[in-house]
A and B are shown apart, each in its own frame.
Chain A
Amino acid sequence: DADVTQTPRNRITKTGKRIMLECSQTKGHDRMYWYRQDPGLGLRLIYYSFDVKDINKGEISDGYSVSRQAQAKFSLSLESAIPNQTALYFCATKPAGGDTQYFGPGTRLTVL
Chain B
Amino acid sequence: GENVEQHPSTLSVQEGDSAVIKCTYSDSASNYFPWYKQELGKGPQLIIDIRSNVGEKKDQRIAVTLNKTAKHFSLHITETQPEDSAVYFCAASSGGGADGLTFGKGTHLIIQP
Tell me if A1 counts as interface (CB < 8 A to partner B): no
Q: Please, how many angstroms separate the alpha-carbon atoms of A40 and B41 in the complex?
A: 16
Which residues of A does B touch, CB under 8 Å? Answer: 4, 33, 35, 40-45, 48, 50, 56, 58-59, 90, 92, 97-106
Interface members, chain B 21-73 (any A CB < 8 Å): 32, 34, 36, 41-46, 49, 51
User: Which residues in A have their C-beta under 8 angstroms from that of B43?
Assistant: 4, 90, 103-106
Q: Please, how many angstroms separate the alpha-carbon atoms of A41 and B89 in the complex?
A: 11
Which residues of B does A touch, CB under 8 Å? Answer: 1, 4, 6, 9, 32, 34, 36, 41-46, 49, 51, 89, 93, 95-96, 98-106
Q: Please, how many angstroms separate the alpha-carbon atoms of A99 and B101 in the complex?
A: 9
Which residue of A43, A56, A102 is within 8 Å of B89 (Cβ)? A43
Q: Please, how many angstroms separate the alpha-carbon atoms of A98 and B32 in the complex?
A: 11
Q: Please, how many angstroms separate the alpha-carbon atoms of A95 and B43 in the complex?
A: 18
- Are A40 and B99 neighbours in the complex by a CB distance under 8 Å? no
The 3 A-B residue pairs whose C-beta atoms are closest, nearest first, are A103-B43, A42-B103, A45-B100
Q: Please, how many angstroms separate the alpha-carbon atoms of A41 and B32 in the complex?
A: 21
Which residue of B41, B96, B98 is within 8 Å of A99 (Cβ)? B96
- Are A99 and B32 neighbours in the complex by a CB distance under 8 Å? yes
User: Which residues in A have their C-beta under 8 angstroms from that of B105?
Assistant: 40-42
